[in-house]
Amino acid sequence: MKIGFIGLGIMGKPMALNLLKAGYEVTVSNRSRQKCAPLVAAGAKSGSYSEAAESCEVLITMLPNGPQVREVMLGENGAAAHMKPGSTFIDMSSINPVDSRAIGAALADYGVEMLDAPVSGGEPKAIDGTLSIMVGGKQEIFDRYKDMLGAMGSSVVRCGELGAGNTTKLANQIIVACNIQVLAEALTLAQKAGVDPNLVFDAIKGGLAGSTVMNAKAPMMIAGNDRPGFKIDLHIKDLNNALDCAHAVGAPVPMTASVQEILQWLHNHEGGQKDHSAIAQYYEYLSDIQIGR
């Protein structure tokens, strides 16, 4: 199977590498072409967006947001015009499901099928190929590419028709953000009350409060490590999409709005490129402490 892959950022680069490791022929493309070099060294071909589209049975994008996906696919000399009828576009970016459905409708005019397949797990799971992949689209198209998606993820679930993948991802991002916020709040309480946050984490991680989020983010908060596995600015983007979608369908999301304000505060205080676990730094600022230190 020949695959085109556009977007080689924190997530896209290891995802494309895992496709190569699984034996697929991959043509990579990126706005900053130097980012293609490590993939070429691993066996990929490199080309423009149109060359990636022309050469493939399936074209994958991993881009920041809906406008970038629309521009790459449907803009001037967009990739869609170079795809073969009967080929498939899989957008693995996290965007508004309304945008997914609109892009899918436009691609139908080219005879191109579409799946939206956003991922969860951050850079570590992108590297080891254990992402959770949430897919929207036709059952028969999902069935055709499920094994290929499995080269990048340990969980590949069809959630419904086109747009359902990104709706599921928005729900995921709400849960992750609110978990990180409440974890930071709890560790701040422990520190202010004179109890070692390391011991609090060790004591509760195996109980009902334990979670994948806690296991990943508590050690980062305690160490003061804000190296991005998933950047605050990207989570702001996802929660903006979640709020827009919620407003459109009439879903109440007050906790989402609350954590979004914290993320925005961090963005305004030079934290936008930090890991989203840096929500803890907002609480450290308010309480004049350093968690675990």
- The domain spanning residue 270 has which CATH number? 1.10.1040.10
Residue 220 CA to residue 225 CA, distance in Å, equals 5
pLDDT of residue 33: 84
Sequence-separated (6 or more) residues with CB below 8 Å from residue 162: 100, 101, 104, 114, 115, 116, 136, 137, 138
Q: Which of 105, 129, 160 is the C-terminal boundary of a domain?
A: 160
Check pLDDT > 90 for residue 82: yes
- Whether 275 shows a pLDDT value over 90: the answer reads yes
Amino acid 130: pLDDT: 97
Domain tally for the chain? 2
For residues 113 and 184, membership in a common domain is answered with: no
Domain end position, chosen among 99, 134, 160: 160
Cα of 39 vs its chain's centroid, Å: 20
Q: Which residue has the tokens 């934290």?
A: 271
Contact 280, 221 (CB under 8 A): yes
Mean pLDDT over 107-114 rounds to: 97
75 part of a folded domain: yes
Q: Are residues 129 and 189 in the same domain?
A: no
Which 3 state secondary structure label does DSSP give 147?
Answer: helix
> What are the residues facing 9 on neighbouring strands?
none
| Among 89, 128, 92, 93, CA closest to 105 | 89
Q: Could you give the angle at the alpha carbon of 43 between the alpha carbons of 37 and 46, nearest 5°? A: 50
What is the token pair recorded at 205?
A: 């991680």
The answer to whether position 217 is within a domain reads yes
| Whether the predicted pLDDT of 62 surpasses 90 | yes
Task: Determine the angle formed by the axes of helices 97-108 and 66-74, rounding to 10 degrees.
Answer: 10
| Chosen domain end from 160, 182, 207 | 160
pLDDT reported for residue 53: 94
- Whether 173 shows a pLDDT value over 90: the answer reads yes
Task: For residues 41 and 139, state if they share a domain.
Answer: yes
Q: What is the pLDDT of residue 258?
A: 97
The verdict on 42 and 91 lying in the same domain is yes
Query: Do residues 151 and 203 both lie within one domain?
Result: no
Other beta carbons within 10 angstroms of residue 124's beta carbon come to 12
Task: Based on the fold, state whether residues 74 and 15 are members of the same structural domain.
Answer: yes
Q: Is the pLDDT of residue 166 over 90?
A: yes
Statement to judge: residues 233 and 115 lie in one domain: no
What's the pLDDT at 287? Answer: 97
Residue closest to 24 by CA, chosen among 109, 148, 110, 140? 148
Note whether 113 and 228 are same-domain residues.
no
Q: Are strands 88-91 and 58-61 parallel, antiparallel or unpaired?
A: parallel
In a domain, 292, yes or no: no
Q: What range defines the domain where residue 21 resides?
A: 2-160
Q: 254 burial class (0-12, 13-18, 19+ CB within 10 angstroms)?
A: exposed
pLDDT in tens, 194-251: 999 999 999 999 999 999 999 999 999 999 999 998 899 999 999 999 999 999 999 9
User: What is the pLDDT of the chain when averaged over all its residues?
Assistant: 96
* pLDDT at position 32: 86
225 is a domain residue: yes
CATH number of the domain that residue 29 is part of? 3.40.50.720
Average pLDDT of 24-31? Answer: 95
Specify whether 169 is catalytic: yes
Q: Give yes or no for a contact between 224 and 284, defined as CB atoms under 8 angstroms apart.
A: no
User: For tokens 């459905």, what's the residue?
Assistant: 101
Q: Which of 169, 217, 237, 274 is catalytic?
A: 169
Residue 77 pLDDT grade (very low, low, confident, very high; cuts 50, 70, 90): confident
Position 122 pLDDT exceeds 90:
no
What's the pTM value of the predicted model, to 2 decimals? 0.90
pLDDT band at 55 (very low <50, low <70, confident <90, very high): confident
- Verify that 60 and 146 share a domain, yes or no: yes
How do residues 137-155 score in pLDDT, each as one tens digit? 999 999 999 999 999 999 9
Q: Both tokens of residue 4?
A: 């085109």
